[in-house]
Amino acid sequence: MTPLNTSRPKNYIDGCNVDSIDPEILKAIEGYSSRSVEGRRVSFVGVVWSENDIAVFYPKGLSSDDNWQNTAKLIIKCIRQYTKNERKSSDLMGVDNTIKYPIGLSVLENYLKFGLYNLLQKKAVLATSGKVDWKNTLNRIMPTHNKDRVPIYIPQIVGKTRSSPNIIQELHKAIISEADKVFGWLIGSKSNLVAPELKGVKLPVSKSAALKIIRKEMSFQYVDAKISQLKLMESFLLNKEDTANQSRWCFGTDLFQNIWENMCASYLGDQKSQFPMPAIPAYKSKNALILKKENASRPDIIINEKNKIAIVDAKYYDFKASMPGWQDLVKQFFYAKAFTIVYKKLDINNMLAVPKVEKAEPESIVVVDRFSNQLDDEFPPIDVLFLDMVDVMKCFEGRRISVEKRALALN
């Protein structure tokens, strides 16, 4: 693949109409996940790219700007961070419901963390001569004892240096260079490359020969970090064969609402683990109460400070286009009522956290009677907390809590 053209992307918003999307880009998304296109709308946040063009699908509450590349990188980082939790990894879409994180990106991330494959390493061997490695000896050798009960370690372990063939590092350089051409623009900072000094490096041998060399090295290796590097190199070469005719790449998710919920929890400093759900609906018979797991749902986010508590439902809506329905609102009113009964001494705020969009007007959600009189005593209003999408993503990626927005939610 030739170097990517990053001059100007095609810009779309999650939930846009299929008619507004370039047919080739739409085809790539449908191939990535059959469930991303429902009716006339496309549910997708991420990037689609080829040698000639890039398409960025922004989350609701975001739009294109001159810093589109930084925003695209931020989107990828947030998706990547979210899916590092194994329980949440299935949220990354794919036709087989598995994570489809490009192996080339993993190769580059590994390189940034560990550098090139190190040809030298110490190997623990049983001593015939040399300086004793007492740490390994004490940990791995069962001692015997002399008549004075003094432990004797025989045999002892010494450290020997093993050198890998130079070609392993040359293969690693070539793989990084190849991955950089396709994926470097997503995480690199220098000329859209992670390793510009390796630009143009080619495999010194055929792919099949490279795989044999890598697998042989793996059979001698026992250091976990190096085994991981070798496995990534092997996977990249195998994947290269599978995608030899691939002209367009795709990475993202059609379940960004799950990521939004998790980001908001991180952003506001969620404390719901400290507050068990105080009440749930149950089914009563003559002799027993029947509890159903599906009735035991919990608020997305609970935050607390002194005598204040905020119950927050993270909703991924563009409030200019749509708003939460009856079921979501009734659930939130129920949460507030349940907490009010149990936590009588706390002031309770009830709110929705949604992406900030231009000209979105609702400040709160109230219940009214048939004469439009507000029933605030019976159903305290649900406030709407508009959050800046970029700020939420930056804090999530940096693992920071927004002290300002947390205080606002508890105000």
Cα angle, residue 378 at apex, residues 372 and 382 outer, rounded to 5°: 75
140-154, 271-285, 343-357, 387-401: the lowest-pLDDT one: 140-154
Three-class secondary structure of residue 402 per DSSP: coil
pLDDT greater than 50 at residue 276: yes
Instruction: Give the pLDDT score at 88.
Output: 55
Instruction: Give the pLDDT score at 129.
Output: 62
The whole-chain average pLDDT of the chain stands at 84
29-38, 87-96, 325-334, 384-393: the lowest-pLDDT one: 87-96
pLDDT greater than 60 at residue 98: no
Kindly state the average pLDDT of the residues 321-346. Answer: 89
This prediction's pTM: 0.80
Residues 6 or more apart whose CB falls under 8 angstroms from that of 166 comprise 119
The answer to whether the beta carbons of residues 84 and 92 sit under 8 Å apart is no
Report the candidate in 393, 384, 317, 325 with the shortest Cα–Cα distance to residue 355. Answer: 317
Kindly state the average pLDDT of the residues 255-268. Answer: 94
pLDDT greater than 80 at residue 261: yes
Kindly state the average pLDDT of the residues 227-243. Answer: 87
Residues 6 or more apart whose CB falls under 8 angstroms from that of 259 comprise 45, 78, 79, 82, 91, 253
The answer to whether the beta carbons of residues 44 and 100 sit under 8 Å apart is no
Instruction: Give the pLDDT score at 233.
Output: 96
Q: Which residue has the higher pLDDT, 138 or 365?
A: 365
Q: Give the distance from CA 214 to its chain's centroid.
A: 29
> Taking the CA atoms of the chain, what radius of gyration do you get in angstroms?
28
State percent of the chain over pLDDT 90.
Answer: 45
pLDDT greater than 90 at residue 111: yes
The answer to whether the beta carbons of residues 282 and 289 sit under 8 Å apart is yes
Q: What is the pLDDT of residues 202-222, one digit of tens each?
A: 999 999 999 999 999 988 887
Q: What is the pLDDT of residues 53-72, one digit of tens each?
A: 889 999 998 877 778 888 99
DSSP 372-398: --B-TTTS--EEEEEE-HHHHHHHHHT
Instruction: Give the pLDDT score at 96.
Output: 45
Confidence label for 382 from pLDDT (cuts 50, 70 and 90)? very high
pLDDT greater than 80 at residue 174: yes
Three-class secondary structure of residue 154 per DSSP: coil
Instruction: Give the pLDDT score at 161.
Output: 54
